[in-house]
Chain A
């Protein structure tokens, strides 16, 4: 574990370096390989050549989308794990992404909404409803919202919402055709307008999340102790819930439901910097987009000329980690 504020800040800078490499790779690797010089020229001195167009109109939006989605999912996962004191929390596992997904599919398939500006609100609405229902069901009874209860409630909600989604997609071939590419979780549909519309929402979520770090530390001590330390527990919960809804909803609207990034990254951050959320949140915010972009780059390369969607790669990386976490917990807790 890295101790001391200076070292942690230096480590954060190092993570930033990794992220920069990931961004560069995401800009240059794909069906066509570009050197760093090509990338620089396309950005600084746009000549309108095919290479410049590919970089500027395909790779740049895709990379920015990866950054936004990664930041959003990493922070959302860290917030959920902090607020619920639950190591298994993740927007995918707890059904938040499924809620956003079903709302988007409903907006596309039933209401005929096509622009991101419109359906990002649907995504957030769906995420909100799913979050509230999962939390209420999971929090009933002795011990409050335990990991097992929340994960099960999330699985039940996901199953229910999945059948609503299939009811919509099965009745309409063109909705199904869009949906099947979107539901795996992919950055390839991102375009310039999409990311410029989503960026402010993610920014709001980031602000809200980073402000909450100190309160999450106190919440980790238990509700009573946090209260006696002067934390307004309910306010913190609601604020964190809002941030999760904004972040996970926007991420799902951009790239579809991507699981396990929000689960894995905060765990990695926690094992590196310890239990202090004032550090976990910024580390997650930098590591998550790095992971997502690297996963996306890997997905572009492994089955060339076809593409393995980023959501599949993150599931392949993240689900084994989830299983390992489940195995590691003492039986009494599970």
Chain B
């Protein structure tokens, strides 16, 4: 933390977090630019940059601006949204395992979206995902509430609710015809394939609204981390700011899930990586968001390049990276005796 003064105005700047997130954002841009070059046709990087500047031919413009760019942008947006959502949840619960993918938020969004894909048509996915994740978040919160919410009870109730929700999802898959089932399960794995500008606008719009709200509440987050009693003494209205933060976190995860499916473990891993990287007790939301974006875009590049031509969904890669990380995280927490 440094204090910066410009004339009469002064503000406190977290230098480590600022540097860390700038590096991560820069890396994200580099990886994003590289993913614009790969695909069925390889296009050299200078040509890509030239096309982005508006000097490309009609075909190049179509491939890069209309096809590849939205995919990368959706990846960046989705990664940011999941990671910020995860950071909010983890900090609220003071427990790294309380992330939207473990407590049933993503599962609720996924059930609603599969319902839309198989029954109502995919135009309704964002609205459905929002409703589904809100409902499941409320259900988990209410069921875990017993004169307060303990982090582990939240996670375990989340596992139980997820079990019910995912068996309903699996049932819907058996009812659908095989092609709808295929597209639904592709979607369930978390995928950026075939994402267009309309997807990019949805997640971009969500971030424009929700990200400033999240950053503005970051001060409340710091207070809430001190514990309810202290936070109440310092600021009052603890429940209100907590409810607001939960709503922002749920909405971020829901919109990201609506656009790309429940991309596994980004919300869990990115805030933890950010925390380690900036050597802070808690990670800034922006640093977490930057690492989330980097994680998703890089995983998508890996999925397309290394596993070509099968085109694995990006969620398979993030799960491969994230699940072992979760196990390590738990092993470490267990060793120092905080594992429950």
Q: Which residues of A contact B326 (CB under 8 A)?
A: 156, 159
CB distance from B288 to the nearest CB of A (A): 20
Q: Does chain A have a CB within 8 A of B10?
A: no
Q: Say if the beta carbon of A170 comes within 8 Å of chain B.
A: yes
A334 B153 Cβ-Cβ under 8 A: yes
Q: If the complex has contacts A184-B171, A312-B168, A316-B167, are A176 and B185 also in contact, measured as CB distance less than 8 A?
A: yes
Q: Given A148-B339, A311-B167, are A180 and B181 neighbors across the interface (CB < 8 Å)?
A: yes
- Interface membership of chain A positions 319-333, coded 1 if the CB is closer than 8 angstroms to chain B and 0 otherwise: 110110011000101
Contact B164 A315 (CB under 8 A): yes
Pair A152/B160 contact, Cβ less than 8 Å: no
Which of A137, A183, A326 lies in contact with B170, CB distance below 8 A?
A: A183
Within the assembled complex, what's the spacing in Å between the Cα atoms of A331 and B153?
A: 8
A248 CB–B CB distance under 8 Å: no
A107 to B340, CA, bound (A): 37
Contacts A152-B97, A159-B323, A312-B171 given: A322-B163 contact, CB under 8 Å? Answer: yes
Residue ID in chain A nearest B179 by CB atoms: A173
Give the CA-CA distance A177 to B173 in the complex, in Å.
10
Q: Whole-angstrom distance between the alpha carbons of A156 and B96 in the complex? A: 13
The reply to whether the CB of B324 lies closer than 8 angstroms to some CB of chain A is yes
Q: How far is the CB of A321 from chain B (nearest CB, A)?
A: 9
A326–B324 CA distance with the chains assembled, in angstroms: 25
Given contacts A316-B164, A334-B152, contact A160 B157 (CB under 8 A): no
Q: Kindly state the separation between the CA atoms of A316 and B166 in the bound complex, as whole angstroms.
A: 11
Which stretch in B79-87, B244-252, B307-315 binds the other chain?
B307-315
Tell me if B159 counts as interface (CB < 8 A to partner A): yes
Give A157 to B319 CA distance when docked, in angstroms: 10
A151 located at the interface, meaning its Cβ lies under 8 Å from any Cβ of chain B in the complex: yes
Q: Specify which chain A residues have a CB less than 8 angstroms from the CB of B102 in the assembled complex.
A: 155
Contact of B185 among A157, A169, A184, A333 (CB under 8 A): A169
Q: Which B-chain residue is minimally distant from A256 (CB atoms)?
A: B170
- A141: contacting residue among B163, B182, B185, B339, CB under 8 A: B339
Contact assessment for B335 and A166 in the assembled complex, using a CB-CB cutoff below 8 Å: no
CB pair B161–A319 under 8 Å, yes or no, is yes
Q: Is the CB of B178 within 8 A of A312?
A: no
Instruction: Sample 10 A-B pairs with CB under 8 A, ordered by A number.
Output: A152-B155, A157-B327, A159-B264, A166-B313, A166-B316, A170-B185, A170-B313, A171-B310, A320-B164, A322-B160
Residue ranges of A at the interface with B (Cβ–Cβ < 8 Å): 88, 92-93, 133, 137-138, 140-143, 146-149, 151-153, 155-157, 159-160, 162-164, 166-167, 169-171, 173, 176-177, 180-181, 183-184, 259-260, 306, 308-309, 311-312, 315-316, 318-320, 322-323, 326-327, 331, 333-334
Please give 8 more A-B residue pairs, beta carbons under 8 A apart, in addition to A93-B159, A152-B340, A184-B167.
A140-B339, A146-B339, A148-B156, A159-B265, A180-B174, A183-B170, A184-B174, A331-B153
Chain B contact residues, CB within 8 Å of chain A: 97, 101-102, 143-144, 146, 150, 152-153, 155-157, 159-161, 163-164, 167-168, 170-171, 173-175, 178, 181-182, 185-186, 188-189, 264-265, 310, 312-313, 315-316, 319-320, 323-324, 326-327, 330-331, 333-337, 339-340
